[in-house]
Amino acid sequence: MLLFTILFTAFLALTNAGTCDEAVPVTAFPYSVKGVLNSALADSTYVDKSGATVTVKAIWYKVTVTEDTTAWVSTCHPSTTVNTKIISYGACSESTATNYLDENDDFENCGTKSRIAIKFTKNKAQFVGVFSPDGTEGNYMIVFESYTQTNINCMAATPVTLPVVVEGTTANGEEVTLSCTPYSGRKGLWYSFKGTGEAVVVDNCGSNIPFDIQLIILEGNAVGDCSSIDCYANNDGGCPDNTYSARVYFKTVVNQNYLVFITSYFLDEGSFQVNLRTISQAIPTICEQAVTLSSFPVTRSAQFNASWTKTVDSCTEEAEKHYAAYFVFKGLGANMVMHTCRSASGKTRIEVLNNCEESMCVVSSTVTCGDQAYLELMAKNGQEYFIRVVCLSDVCDTTFTIGYSSMSKHDMCQDAMLVTASTTQSVLAETLDTCTHGCSYTSTEGKGLWYKFIGTTALPNKAGYNILTSDAQGMSINKIEVYQECDTYVCTAQQVGNVVIGIEESAYAFADIGTSESMHVQIVVEDKVQHDTCANAKNIQIPFSTLDWNLGASTSKNLFCSKTESEGTWYTFSVESRATLFVSTCTQTLLYPSYLAVGSGSCSEMLCMGEADPSLIGCMSGGTALLSVAPQNKYYVFVGSQNTNVYGQFNLKMYTNDPPESSKCNNAIVLNMKEKFIRLTTYNRYSYRTYVKFLDGKSREVRGTYFVINEGYSGKVLFMTCATGTTIPSFISTHNACRGNIQSNYSFPSDIVSSKYADYQSNVCGNMGSKLQVDVDGLNPTLVFVAGYNTDDYGFIDVEILLRVTPLPTTSSSEPVESSSHPSQSSEAHSSNTSDSDEDNNGLSGGQIAGIVIGVIIFVAVSALLIGVVVFVVIKATNAAKYQALD
């Protein structure tokens, strides 16, 4: 069948498409158009995925199609000369794009241009915006091109040959439930390949995607919807510095079939680009396939595990076998430095061999940075060297770096490393040469690392470079000096552990290793602070815990306590009852000298309630404030610096000493079943006590928070405590019933139905977190308890709740009512010496409920009968009067 398409291409000013209600109409694909992004465009607003309203200079397109269509929307074209971002929305209300669908900024292999797969629905308008995220001006071309995805189930998986890059969208695909998915209804795309006996890596590390991807591997041929096949391997993380991307390794068997399912962990819809390759194509596991290194420095990362091939050690007396990766380079008569000091876990060694046949040891690493390896080698001109990076543990998350000595160390100001992005480095003192540095016109000799920064105005959304240093024990004791140029001995800043260089500032920074044997340097490119004024204060709920910074914050003047001005951040909150509030930036790891003040009132008229006391024992920086708070008042917290123009990170913690009512099962938090995602911070030090009988038969006292999943909705509810705000080992359990004691405020939940706890060995959710899926049928409420795992575990728990539920069918058109019922009273409470009069029976027995229901039915029936009699009498009397009047 011959398909006719029309390609519309024109160069348009499009100044009238600056808001979504003036969007350029698009009704057929393919479609392409050129445009210009500049300051002459009208301001455009959209509501981002976090709910914040964002203003940009954008051009909008209104897409309406006559059939359901998936299309690639892309600015990856030679005509595009500007950094672009594409956003997709389902509605436009009062010139603001709402109902967020998807976005892309800097698509992989497309530079700063963007590409996104969007599913367009028949006869439903959808809005696509394009703008420059850094505010630069220039030309672009946007192309809409439809495509059909056939690999929507495992039986239709697309066969591929490795290495390959696949792309698509999770919006397509048939729903399927697998053994490694936390809830049902996953959509995604399927691919298949034959094993070669080599280990394989599937990943999208480095992709700039706005959703949490999950990569799932099945071993075997497709059967039905493949729900009967156990997951062979899967991961929804594993990439450095990216919480959304994923990477999974697995070993293959020759000619065995493998299915790859690419989906979203949280059921989101969005575009992806995923690499499939053997580890020998990524990082080789045998010497004969060693990767040739021709330019330096080079860094490679990999996770060694059972999927790797073990090879024989060459530089030890015992010919043991270990997992290893191989590289080869040709010497140029220069000194080379290679190390694994930036590795995340495991123990490593570096061996240098003469060739693969003899595998004779040239040299082996002897200097170590913790459990990792460091080696210097004078590489003779023209000679080949084979490098074997060895994992000495069962599992290693290894990062290997090699470079010329001067480039690797940059221990002289003249050799300073130019910083343009976030980076992390580790170094040993004995590997550095002595340099001259110093402040206040006084020079001194020492060792350290030098960095160079070039100021720019092209990144308006970035605040600057946050430099953090620490020793081998993680203590921030290393000094950082900032200079305008080399050999001046005049510092523009000097601070221990942390210093900030503005994005428009050109400078040199020296990280002094001091008396430490080793040093870890982390440089983070930070975004601008949005809550640096009272008017833009971040609205929070108590308890609250955050790691924040004042990097790039504006100066707040006329402050309300003793300090008159400082660069800092603002927070605002209110409370429901009188309480004593504890506010602190006290920490033993961050040396930023923070200033803390709490006020009450409004931004125009603020009353000082208290300031931090920086003299607490064990508080290396920051301080605490203790004050009384009351309802109906609005409070503000300001965190700045004790010194002018000093920036850094701080850890802000806030909680009251009042026991939270939700720590009693009869006052459990009732979940809003219409929400998709709920997150809240809990603090359990002052929580009421709960007596739980654990699955091992032992009972113990713990403290936590109760939640109720009400009846009327069926599906899955996922509870997670994996976030970084969780500071204690956590435990999640479900129960059918609970009762409490009025005098002691103890809660006694019934036996555990299901539970998960922080598992240090599996590390499935961090050392402190746990994850539990709750299946609900909608017929009975479910009680969920989130607590510290041990009796003396006190601290913060970040609770994230993902709801994938649907209302139960009803006879009327109304939705299920959000009731506040709780699970019934349990007769299995572990309180042998508590009388019935002392118990807070928060739940009714089956007989009591039945009696109440029958009584209500009888009452309604009698009332209806009486009302009917009265109405009948009135109508009869009225009609009689009418008849009399007619007579």
Q: What per-residue confidence (pLDDT) applies to 109? A: 62
Q: Per-residue pLDDT for 813 more than 50? A: no
Q: Please, are residues 636 and 534 in contact by the beta-carbon 8 Å criterion? A: yes
Once rounded to an integer, what is the mean pLDDT over residues 274-293? 74
Q: What per-residue confidence (pLDDT) applies to 523? A: 84
Taking the C-alpha atoms of residue 430 and residue 243, their distance in angstroms, rounded to an integer, is 35
Taking the C-alpha atoms of residue 77 and residue 84, their distance in angstroms, rounded to an integer, is 11
Q: Which of 447-451, 734-738, 849-853 comes out lowest in average pLDDT? A: 849-853
Taking the C-alpha atoms of residue 326 and residue 349, their distance in angstroms, rounded to an integer, is 12
Q: How confident is the model at residue 765 (pLDDT cuts 50, 70, 90)?
A: low
Q: Please, are residues 621 and 587 in contact by the beta-carbon 8 Å criterion? A: yes
Q: What per-residue confidence (pLDDT) applies to 830? A: 35
Q: Is the pTM of this model over 0.75?
A: no
603-660 pLDDT per residue, tens: 999 999 988 866 555 565 678 888 899 988 999 999 988 877 776 777 788 888 788 8
CA angle 703, 705, 708 (to 5 degrees): 140
Once rounded to an integer, what is the mean pLDDT over residues 390-411? 79
Q: Per-residue pLDDT for 818 more than 60? A: no
* Greater pLDDT, 16 or 833: 16
Closest CA to 821 of 879, 769, 778: 778
Report the percentage of the chain scoring pLDDT > 90: 27
Q: Per-residue pLDDT for 52 more than 70? A: yes
Closest CA to 520 of 452, 472, 479, 481: 472
Once rounded to an integer, what is the mean pLDDT over residues 221-233? 90
Once rounded to an integer, what is the mean pLDDT over residues 705-720? 92
Q: Please, are residues 551 and 606 in contact by the beta-carbon 8 Å criterion? A: no
Q: What per-residue confidence (pLDDT) applies to 574? A: 93
CA angle 327, 332, 337 (to 5 degrees): 55
Q: Per-residue pLDDT for 26 more than 90? A: yes
Q: Which of 284-298, 450-464, 489-503, 682-696 comes out lowest in average pLDDT? A: 284-298
Q: Per-residue pLDDT for 785 more than 80? A: yes
Which domains, and CATH codes, for the chain?
Answer: 20-146 (2.60.120.380), 154-279 (2.60.120.380), 316-404 (2.60.120.380), 413-421+441-513 (no CATH), 534-656 (2.60.120.380), 661-807 (2.60.120.380)
Q: Per-residue pLDDT for 887 more than 60? A: no
Once rounded to an integer, what is the mean pLDDT over residues 224-241? 80
Report residue 36 as tokens.
């210009």
Q: Per-residue pLDDT for 348 more than 80? A: yes
Taking the C-alpha atoms of residue 757 and residue 768, their distance in angstroms, rounded to an integer, is 9
Q: How confident is the model at residue 440 (pLDDT cuts 50, 70, 90)?
A: confident
Closest CA to 555 of 615, 490, 644: 644
Q: How many CB atoms lie within 10 A of CB 236?
A: 21
Q: Indicate the SS3 state at residue 377.
A: strand
Q: Per-residue pLDDT for 825 more than 70? A: no
Q: What per-residue confidence (pLDDT) applies to 808? A: 87
Q: How confident is the model at residue 6 (pLDDT cuts 50, 70, 90)?
A: very low
* Greater pLDDT, 884 or 765: 765
Q: What per-residue confidence (pLDDT) applies to 9? A: 38
Taking the C-alpha atoms of residue 385 and residue 406, their distance in angstroms, rounded to an integer, is 20
- CA atoms in the 13 A half-sphere facing the CB of 598: 25
Instruction: Work out the end-to-end distance of the chain between its first and last CA atoms, rounded to an integer number of angstroms.
Output: 84
Q: Per-residue pLDDT for 854 more than 60? A: no
Once rounded to an integer, what is the mean pLDDT over residues 718-738? 85
Q: How confident is the model at residue 866 (pLDDT cuts 50, 70, 90)?
A: low
User: Among the ranges 92-106, 491-505, 537-551, 827-841, which has the highest mean pLDDT value?
Assistant: 92-106
Q: Which of 5-14, 132-141, 142-151 comes out lowest in average pLDDT? A: 5-14
* Residue showing tokens 């011959």: 2
- Return mean pLDDT, the chain: 80
Q: Per-residue pLDDT for 437 more than 60? A: yes
Q: Per-residue pLDDT for 11 more than 50? A: no
Once rounded to an integer, what is the mean pLDDT over residues 786-797? 85
Q: Please, are residues 261 and 190 in contact by the beta-carbon 8 Å criterion? A: yes
Q: What per-residue confidence (pLDDT) applies to 379? A: 85
Q: Please, are residues 324 and 314 in contact by the beta-carbon 8 Å criterion? A: no
How far is residue 505 from each of residues 453, 482, 501, 645, measured CA to CA in Å?
7, 11, 6, 13
Output the CA torsion sign for 824, 827, 832, 834: positive
* Greater pLDDT, 131 or 824: 131
Q: Please, are residues 199 and 251 in contact by the beta-carbon 8 Å criterion? A: yes
Q: Indicate the SS3 state at residue 850.
A: helix
Alpha carbon 339 to chain centroid distance? 29
Beta bridge partners of 566: 556
Q: What per-residue confidence (pLDDT) applies to 207? A: 66
158-197 pLDDT per residue, tens: 999 988 888 888 877 888 988 887 555 788 999 999 998 8
555-596 pLDDT per residue, tens: 898 899 988 888 899 999 998 888 888 898 876 555 567 889
Q: What per-residue confidence (pLDDT) applies to 725? A: 66
Q: Per-residue pLDDT for 259 more than 90? A: yes
Once rounded to an integer, what is the mean pLDDT over residues 19-32? 91
Q: Indicate the SS3 state at residue 201.
A: strand
Q: Per-residue pLDDT for 335 more than 60? A: yes
Q: What is the DSSP letter of 121?
A: P
Once rounded to an integer, what is the mean pLDDT over residues 80-107? 90
Taking the C-alpha atoms of residue 728 and residue 768, their distance in angstroms, rounded to an integer, is 6
Q: What per-residue confidence (pLDDT) applies to 827? A: 34
Q: What per-residue confidence (pLDDT) applies to 704? A: 94
Q: What per-residue confidence (pLDDT) applies to 16? A: 52
Q: How many CB atoms lie within 10 A of CB 5?
A: 10
Taking the C-alpha atoms of residue 55 and residue 368, their distance in angstroms, rounded to an integer, is 51
Q: Please, are residues 115 and 88 in contact by the beta-carbon 8 Å criterion? A: no
Report residue 653 as tokens.
């913690």
Taking the C-alpha atoms of residue 215 and residue 205, their distance in angstroms, rounded to an integer, is 12
Q: Please, are residues 316 and 350 in contact by the beta-carbon 8 Å criterion? A: no
Q: Please, are residues 768 and 712 in contact by the beta-carbon 8 Å criterion? A: no
Q: What per-residue confidence (pLDDT) applies to 60? A: 95
Q: Per-residue pLDDT for 850 more than 50? A: no
Q: What per-residue confidence (pLDDT) applies to 759? A: 58
367-380 pLDDT per residue, tens: 667 788 888 888 88
Taking the C-alpha atoms of residue 146 and residue 64, their distance in angstroms, rounded to an integer, is 13
Q: What is the DSSP letter of 458?
A: S
Q: How confident is the model at residue 96 (pLDDT cuts 50, 70, 90)?
A: very high
Q: What per-residue confidence (pLDDT) applies to 845? A: 43
Q: H or E element: which one contains 200?
A: strand 199-203
With a CB cutoff of 8 Å and minimum separation 6, the contacts of 778 are: 711, 712, 713, 714, 805, 807, 808, 816
Strands of 635-641's sheet, edge to edge?
538-539, 569-573, 635-641, 594-601, 606-611
Q: What per-residue confidence (pLDDT) applies to 123? A: 92
CA angle 885, 886, 887 (to 5 degrees): 90
Taking the C-alpha atoms of residue 740 and residue 749, their distance in angstroms, rounded to an integer, is 8
DSSP letters of 680-720?
Answer: EEEE-TTPPEEEEE-TTS-EEEEEEEEEEE-TTEEEEEEEE
Q: Which amino acid is at 49?
A: K
Report residue 469 as tokens.
């240093």
Q: Indicate the SS3 state at residue 331.
A: coil
Q: Which of 427-436, 647-656, 706-715 comes out lowest in average pLDDT? A: 647-656
Taking the C-alpha atoms of residue 219 and residue 201, their distance in angstroms, rounded to an integer, is 15
Residue-wise over 385-412: b if at least 16 C-beta within 10 A, else e? Answer: bbbbbbbbeeebbbbbbbbebeebbbbb
Q: What per-residue confidence (pLDDT) applies to 220? A: 93
Number of residues in the chain:
887
Q: Please, are residues 354 and 362 in contact by the beta-carbon 8 Å criterion? A: yes
Strand 479-483 with 493-496, pairing: antiparallel
User: Among the ranges 328-342, 412-426, 829-843, which has the highest mean pLDDT value?
Assistant: 328-342
Q: What per-residue confidence (pLDDT) applies to 593? A: 77
Residue 405's φ and ψ, nearest 5 degrees, are -55, -50
